[in-house]
Structure 1
Amino acid sequence: MHTKRIFSATTTLALTLAVAACSDPSTNSGQTGSASQSNSATSAAHTSYDVTSIPTVEEIAALVPEEIKARGTLRNGASTGYAPAEYMASDGQTPIGYDIDINRALAKVMGLTDATTKHAEFPTIIPALGTKFDVGLSSFTITAEREQQVNMVSYLNVGSAWGVAAGNPKSFDPSNPCGATIAVQTGTAQETYAATLSQECTAAGKAQITIMPHDMQTDIATKLIGGQYDATLADSTVIGYTGAQSAGKIEQLGDTFESAPQGVAVSKDDEKLTTAVQAALQYLMDNGYLSDILASYGAQDAALSTADINPAAK
């Protein structure tokens, strides 16, 4: 079940790595990660997983819709400002990250000759499924609301974490965020959670939270280090990875909390593709490929063992 990994170091990340988050800190889904787990990404180089050894599984390939078979390409949409899941290489044009590698692995299992990932702003990905994109691998937290829009196939379980400049110079207190300035990614569950926290602050007669949303999050790291923000709220994998790339100038504050499952988004109108994605993900899980892909980004502990369709509705 262990699979061979071949890595290629191709780029060193800039300090402006994205620290946006897409997991829902208000949803307790069981397994909770730890701070040490989320900080396990230590390499500054892009490590790309070689999917050439992953075989085509004929019974899974038979599930793929004819239009996609004829095209030969699995088209993914991702907001590429979210390392280590999806971000841009040093050329500013090539999407890289574990979600990009997972998309390529899915295409291999499905017998497709190619897999592409195109950048899209996070809120625009779901509306484009079934037309511009076949799948959305962009760290989507699985929620009942999203399951009303698209089919979600689970593959990861990721917690949330607070990130601050080294030494916490703003003395940010996660237990009392009222009055703080917090950076988040636009359209994510974390933005919603920050708004809920702010409402709780004002209801208690305290100062509201100043929420700073960003479409790409490419400037959060420098602004956090520069003292413009008190903290950022992000997936634990993002905080850990960004901290590693910032040479210790950004650190996680407190433990990872409230894990939630993430899923591959597929159009509600494409049940056949949904079934193919579920089967291919389960194959990657069962044969160790998913854990190996995530391990090249220090995120192997996030892998799920069961690919479920729309688990929030169960």
Structure 2
Amino acid sequence: MPFRSPLRRASLLAAAGLALVTLASCADPQSEKPDVGKATDQKLPTVKTDPEVARLVPAAFKAKKKLVFATAGPNAPIVFYKGDNKTLTGYTIDLGNALGDAMGLNIEWKNISFDSVLPGLAAGRYDGAMSSFSIEHERLSSADFVSYYLSGGGFLIKKGSGIKVNAFEDLCGYRVSVKKGVSQVEALAEASRDCRARGEKPIKSLQFPESNAVVLALQSGRADVAVNDKPQMLYAAQQSHGELCVSSVYQTSHSIAGIAIQKGSPLAKPLQAAVDSLLKSGAYEQISDIWGANVTKKGTALSEEYQKVAAPWGVGPDGRVVRSRIFTDPKQIKPGHAYYYQPLNKGCA
């Protein structure tokens, strides 16, 4: 089915949920205070060095015995701080460390601002980056990617607010909080232009440096709607004790997330092999389920339409990654942003 507008609606997935785990704190939405909460107490799988994976690791990295990875938190449940406000935890950290274990390497994490990650990677300050990066057409001109999970987005509102948002085009006249530097910023700008063209009020986009502040803006009444990646929005609703609700979720034409590496990096094949090793051993699924990063519950099917979009990315019919892919060419991902919306959550507004 062709998409003449990136904001055109299309029902995509059977309803899906995520089991999410930690407790976020409240703070001034303008602050950059990290998410303070309790990390998962579920036991992580033990991952040993996979000889076939280690064989692919370049000698220079074997000699250093480590990789330096950039990430961008707080961004619960993907990456955030433990109660000491110093130690990083979350899906990205646990999965990244497991990938390192499979390669026989340690991962040294550098927590920086989201919009500084790819420039820092291109400048050679990091060996790789894991920070919920969707593999977009535009990003492939400056970085290569190794795929590892399927994400998506969601709209968060205060439960009972009367706001019915199922797509970006429904946001005319609303104040919308969003994380700086992500693809939703562009979607909001385009939707706002469409609002004006239809004679409706534009969208007021409120950009914040991290996901916690995006949610806190909604809780404090500064925003009417929050938009972010699906795991973060479901996490926030789960931990709000009924105050917040995910009005709708969606997938895009670039919802596959990847580990970013420099163009032509020799780490592409060992990282791909490490992801596949964790998939084969079951460690990948255990870690993903602990943090609610799998886009669907096991057994839930993607629509036939979206299966055709996601299958070349190594995504199975239930939305779970079954094999890793290496992305180096912008032609591997269609330009623009086509959105596939799930039905409105009628009990939310």
Identify if the C-alpha distance between structure 1 residues 306 and 225 changes in structure 2 by more than 3 Å, giving closer, same or farther.
same
User: What residue number does 2:161 align with?
Assistant: 168
Encode CA deviations 1:187-246: one digit per residue, 9 max, x unaligned: 111111111111111122221111011112332323211211010111111111111222
Q: Is the 8 A contact 1:85 1:99 kept in 2?
A: yes
Give the whole-Å Cα distance in 1 for the aligned partners of 2:248 and 2:241.
Answer: 19
The offset of 1:88, in angstroms, is: 1.4
Q: Does residue 1:196 correspond to 2:176, yes or no?
A: no
Q: Is the 8 A contact 1:35 1:252 kept in 2?
A: no
User: What residue number does 1:96 align with?
Assistant: 89
Identify if the C-alpha distance between structure 1 residues 34 and 221 changes in structure 2 by more than 3 Å, giving closer, same or farther.
farther
1:125 to 105, 112, 117: 117
Identify if the C-alpha distance between structure 1 residues 218 and 252 changes in structure 2 by more than 3 Å, giving closer, same or farther.
same
Give the whole-Å Cα distance in 1 for the aligned partners of 2:214 and 2:281.
Answer: 37
Q: Which has the higher strand share?
A: 1
Q: Does residue 1:313 correspond to 2:331, yes or no?
A: yes
Identify if the C-alpha distance between structure 1 residues 31 and 54 changes in structure 2 by more than 3 Å, giving closer, same or farther.
farther
User: What residue number does 1:5 align with?
Assistant: none
Q: Is the 8 A contact 2:74 2:211 kept in 1?
A: yes
Encode CA deviations 1:239-293: one digit per residue, 9 max, x unaligned: 11111222222210134444711111011141x2111111111111122111110
User: What residue number does 2:341 align with?
Assistant: none
Give the whole-Å Cα distance in 1 for the aligned partners of 2:42 and 2:271.
Answer: 19
Give the whole-Å Cα distance in 2 for the aligned partners of 1:183 and 1:162.
Answer: 10
Q: Is the 8 A contact 1:83 1:97 kept in 2?
A: yes
Query: What TM-score does the superposition give when structure 1 sets the normalisation length?
Result: 0.83
Identify if the C-alpha distance between structure 1 residues 120 and 303 changes in structure 2 by more than 3 Å, giving closer, same or farther.
farther
User: What residue number does 1:240 align with?
Assistant: 234
Structure 1: which amino acid aligns with 2:98? A
2:100 to 87, 107, 123: 107
1:47 to 15, 21, 40: 40
Identify if the C-alpha distance between structure 1 residues 133 and 51 changes in structure 2 by more than 3 Å, giving closer, same or farther.
farther
The offset of 1:298, in angstroms, is: 2.3
Q: Does residue 1:304 correspond to 2:306, yes or no?
A: no
Structure 2: which amino acid aligns with 1:79? A
Q: Is the 8 A contact 2:48 2:102 kept in 1?
A: yes
Q: Is the 8 A contact 1:183 1:233 kept in 2?
A: yes
2:68 to 54, 65, 75: 75
2:289 to 285, 290, 295: 295
Q: Does residue 1:178 correspond to 2:172, yes or no?
A: yes
Give the whole-Å Cα distance in 1 for the aligned partners of 2:273 and 2:136.
Answer: 21
Give the whole-Å Cα distance in 2 for the aligned partners of 1:53 and 1:242.
Answer: 29
Encode CA deviations 1:35-57: one digit per residue, 9 max, x unaligned: 5424x325543126766721211
The offset of 1:32, in angstroms, is: 4.9
Identify if the C-alpha distance between structure 1 residues 151 and 196 changes in structure 2 by more than 3 Å, giving closer, same or farther.
same
| Matched residues, number | 284
CA RMSD, aligned part only?
2.5
Structure 1: which amino acid aligns with 2:258? G
User: What residue number does 1:37 align with?
Assistant: 17
Give the whole-Å Cα distance in 2 for the aligned partners of 1:209 and 1:66.
Answer: 52
Encode CA deviations 1:44-100: one digit per residue, 9 max, x unaligned: 431267667212112211221222212211221111121111111121111111011
Query: What TM-score does the superposition give when structure 2 sets the normalisation length?
Result: 0.75
Structure 2 residue runs of 5 or longer lacking an equivalent are: 1-5, 24-37, 297-318, 333-349
Give the whole-Å Cα distance in 1 for the aligned partners of 2:101 and 2:131.
Answer: 19
Give the whole-Å Cα distance in 2 for the aligned partners of 1:78 and 1:48.
Answer: 22
Identify if the C-alpha distance between structure 1 residues 49 and 65 changes in structure 2 by more than 3 Å, giving closer, same or farther.
farther
Q: Does residue 1:116 correspond to 2:108, yes or no?
A: yes
Identify if the C-alpha distance between structure 1 residues 229 and 49 changes in structure 2 by more than 3 Å, giving closer, same or farther.
same
